[in-house]
Each structure stands twice: as structure tokens, then as C-alpha cells.
Amino acid sequence: MSKILVLYHSNSGNTQKMAELVAEGARQLEGTEVRLKDVSNADHNDLVWCDGIACGSPTNYGSVSWQMKQWWDQQPIENWGKLDGKIGCVFTSAGAWGGGQEWTCMTLLSILINYGFLVFGVTDYTGVRTEARKLVGGLG
């Protein structure tokens, strides 16, 4: 059984929709238990509980929303160094192309890394592969 925490903050609902889709995807994996939580109703027990986290914030001024940053800033120091080795990934919603979403994601990743989460890369773009892409890349 894998326990996945989908932790998000959303001002106007877009990141929330993304979080719901991430949770929906995670639930499709057999043997996975998912908690979908806004920062207003999540606490350090959720971090202790999970094996992995997907953390999402809107891009605000090219960075993480203050509500998400505050949530991490207020985590009890007693947890520090005790939760290392869990898996982490991040997502963001932004209004513009080149609106700073990569910075937001890097900032979220930096928070997770500081907290002891392991983050990872993949060797190709993720997402649904189109028929055209299959033809060009032959990647299936």
C-alpha cells in the first residue's frame, strides 16, 4: 500500500482542479491510498502519514503562493530530519506562458528537498502521447 498526499493551495480554483486530477490519477494505481488536502486543512500528521507527496501552488509573482510557503514555514521543527527519503513531485498553475511556472516548481522542489523528500526526473515529456508524436518519435 502506497500513501500519497496531494497537498495544494489555490486562490481561484485552478490549482485545485489540477490537484483533483493528480489525486484521480494516483487513485488509479492499485494499492494506493490518497489524501487530497488544501493547506488550510492539512498538518504535519499528513507528512508523517504519506510515502510520497504531490505538492501544488499557483504561480504568484513567479513564485510559490505565500499560503503554501507559510504552511511549510510553520511545520514543527520536531519533524525535521525524521521524514527523509519519501518521494516528492510538484505542479503549478499560471496565467501566462513564461509566467514563472518553472521557478514556482523549482521553489516547491527546493522546499521538498530541504524537508528530505527525494525528487526525480524523467527521460521524456510526460502526459498523453498523441498519434502524431507516436508517428514522429515511434515512442508508443
Ligand X SMILES: Cc1cc2nc3c(=O)[nH]c(=O)nc-3n(C[C@H](O)[C@H](O)[C@H](O)COP(=O)(O)O)c2cc1C
Q: What minimum distance in Å lies between the beta carbon of 10 and ligand X?
A: 3
Residue with smaller CB distance to ligand X, 52 or 99: 99
Residue with smaller CB distance to ligand X, 10 or 107: 10
Cell readout for 60 is 504568484
Residue with smaller CB distance to ligand X, 12 or 28: 12
Where would I find the beta strands (DSSP E) of the chain? 2-8, 32-38, 52-60, 63-64, 87-93
The binding site for ligand X (CB under 6 A) comprises 10-16, 58-62, 93-96, 99-100
Quick check: 10 and 21 in contact, CB under 8 A? Answer: no
Minimal CB distance to ligand X: which residue? 99
Residue with smaller CB distance to ligand X, 13 or 137: 13
- First CA to last CA across the chain, in angstroms? 29
Q: What minimum distance in Å lies between the beta carbon of 36 and ligand X?
A: 14
Q: Measure Cα distances from 87 to 48, 60, 101, 118 in Å.
A: 12, 25, 21, 5
Whole-angstrom distance, CA of residue 47 vs CA of residue 36:
12
